[in-house]
Amino acid sequence: MKSIRTIQDGREALWRITEADRENLFRLLFHRYPDNEWGTFFRFGFRRTRWGILITWVDAMKPESGDLDRSSPLVEFCPAYIRRALAALESDELAVGVIHSHPQDCAPFASRADDDMDSYFAEEFERFGNGRPYASLIVSRDANRELSFNGRVFDRGAWLPVKNCVVVGEQLSREKARLGYEQFSTTREPAANDKTQERLAQLLGTGTPQRLRNSVIGVVGCSGTGSPAIHLLARAEVGELVLVDPGHFKSSGHQRNHASRHADLSANPAPTKVALASRLVGEVSPTTKVTGFVGDLLDEVVLDELVRCDLILGCTDSNYARAALGDMASHYLVPVLDFAVQMRAENGILREQIGEIGRYGPGLPCPWCRGRISVEGIWYETATDAERQFRAAAAVEAEQRGVDGAQYWGGAPPPELTVGYLTTVVGAMGVGYAQNLLLGSGKLPHNRFQFDLGFSSLGVVADERPARADCACQRSIGWGDQARADRSVSQPCHWTRTTIILDD
């Protein structure tokens, strides 16, 4: 028998799964409870990161008649089932793992037989999968139906412990694995003993502040809607914020940026938006960890951190960023709340004060399905100045020849003119919905909706269109890096690479 030891160098594995998939999985694994085990092979996507490895559930390769030995109280895989799992590794780029249950009231820790099984599967699956990882997960329940799980992932010669599972659905949960042989019981975090979250605890329960302190939230864009969102998340004392923005502070943004001070107007060089946001968080909630990136979400080092977030807030109104966030929601099972604002005035009179909140997630319509982005917009945002000038000149020459120049150049998009009260309203509303998703205390009224502050009853309009059946967002759910070919956009080679300014 082989004994397996997971590494203890800080690297870990994170397991992500949708709520619907998990419910179906547990019905399968626990159908012989309370005394007998059951199991299944499953396919998963993955991404190797600087902190370890992400595994994303795709589907269960459910056992057919004769695949498992029903006469045994333990899980015993028959040769034909193993061959089918190995064959799956040759059909696509996904990895294959095993998940099985332990009997009721038995801790989900690997037995010597489990070690022996995993040692064999890890070697075989790595060989057939050309170096792909292998995952082994164990789940169990007690008499009160409280769930406990444990797991490990074999990758490139090392076993990484699965320390957390993020479940994505109508509510979000981050569940901690059992990593030691403590008495089998459900671990409950202690309630906060300070007064800063007293009203939240009175409203929604004593455990809610700690649930926020256990959460990791990404914010892409740290100015207009992003800065009020960051401000409120800090006041809620969330556990960690991953902040992303490539820009530097400009005086014109002072009116909208909750993180800027008057002294920042004359600072030379101008501070980055991420630095200002990080300073704000440190002043409001010193216990909140901040990981900050002066760079773009298309950079692979940024993606490494965003895929471990419970939730991402999209606070940047660009085509390419919205496209990338939609990809993350589908490929990596990371839900996104996307914020947008639009204002228009004529002769000093406001005609539009529009706010928008949209939700992207596995199975939901992506930005392409909803018509929120365009190829032309992505091209303009990611092109070099020389490429734009070339197309503009080509359009002029075409017009001179009597040909429509719009096929070469559609012109520069108009500037987005918005002010602080509207960006604050949308950012604050979005944080409220984000907290409700994390706490299970409420739902979004619609997966995408707009409102206008100048209209009666706020003029709310909902977009309930379904996802397009032929869209890539529906065919590669949970495929992780193995859906790279279906990504909408990649980082242009002429863009400046990301700088990590904070990683405390």
Do 41 and 154 fall within a single domain?
Answer: yes
Do 266 and 362 fall within a single domain?
Answer: yes
Do 454 and 423 fall within a single domain?
Answer: yes
Residue 406, domain member (yes or no): no
Stretch 330-348: mean pLDDT = 95
Residue 27, domain member (yes or no): yes
Residue 331, domain member (yes or no): yes
Cβ contacts of 401 within 8 Å, gap of 6 or more: none
Q: Where among 141, 176, 211 does a domain terminate? A: 176
Say yes or no to pLDDT of 240 above 80.
yes
Residue 389, domain member (yes or no): no
Q: How far apart are CA 431 and CA 226, in angstroms?
A: 10
Q: How far apart are CA 95 and CA 478, in angstroms?
A: 12
Do 355 and 427 fall within a single domain?
Answer: yes
Asked whether the whole model's pTM tops 0.95, one would answer: no
Cβ pair 281, 308 in contact under 8 A: no
Cross-strand partners of 59: 43
Residue 370, domain member (yes or no): yes
CATH number of the domain that 324 lies in?
3.40.50.720
pLDDT digits (tens, 9 = 90+) for 447-460: 999 999 999 999 99
Do 113 and 163 fall within a single domain?
Answer: yes
* Number of folded domains that form the chain: 2
Highest mean pLDDT among 149-158, 374-383, 487-496: 149-158
DSSP string, 4-52: -----SS-EEEEEEEHHHHHHHHHHHTTTTTT---EEEEEEEEEEETTE
Do 271 and 209 fall within a single domain?
Answer: yes
CATH number of the domain that 130 lies in?
3.40.140.10
Quick one: which of 261, 235, 259, 264 has its CA closest to 245?
259
Do 138 and 212 fall within a single domain?
Answer: no
Cβ contacts of 35 within 8 Å, gap of 6 or more: 73, 103, 104
What is the average pLDDT score of the chain? 92
Q: Where among 146, 176, 206 does a domain terminate? A: 176
Quick one: which of 395, 185, 372, 214 has its CA closest to 287?
214
Give residue for tokens 């997630």: 361
Strands 448-452 and 147-155: unpaired
- Which tokens sit at 210? 């700690």
Do 311 and 344 fall within a single domain?
Answer: yes
143-to-109, 119, 446 alpha-carbon distances in Å: 18, 31, 38
- The three-state secondary structure class of 431 is helix
pLDDT digits (tens, 9 = 90+) for 40-94: 999 999 999 999 999 999 999 999 999 999 999 999 999 999 999 999 999 899 9
- Which tokens sit at 413? 């998009």
- The three-state secondary structure class of 308 is coil
pLDDT: which is higher, 407 or 150: 150
48-to-267, 301, 420 alpha-carbon distances in Å: 39, 11, 39
Say yes or no to pLDDT of 193 above 70.
no
Residue 131, domain member (yes or no): yes
Residue 140, domain member (yes or no): yes
pLDDT: which is higher, 43 or 202: 43
Say yes or no to pLDDT of 249 above 80.
yes
Say yes or no to pLDDT of 414 above 80.
no
Say yes or no to pLDDT of 208 above 80.
yes
pLDDT digits (tens, 9 = 90+) for 72-81: 999 999 999 9
pLDDT at residue 3, rounded to an integer: 81
Stretch 207-211: mean pLDDT = 91
Dihedral (CA of 17, 299, 216, 136) sign: positive
Is the preceding peptide bond at 133 cis, omega within 30 degrees of 0?
no
pLDDT at residue 185, rounded to an integer: 36
Do 293 and 219 fall within a single domain?
Answer: yes
Do 374 and 477 fall within a single domain?
Answer: yes
pLDDT at residue 191, rounded to an integer: 42
Say yes or no to pLDDT of 187 above 50.
no
Residue 493, domain member (yes or no): yes
Do 281 and 374 fall within a single domain?
Answer: yes
Do 367 and 450 fall within a single domain?
Answer: yes
Q: For residue 85, give its domain range.
A: 12-176
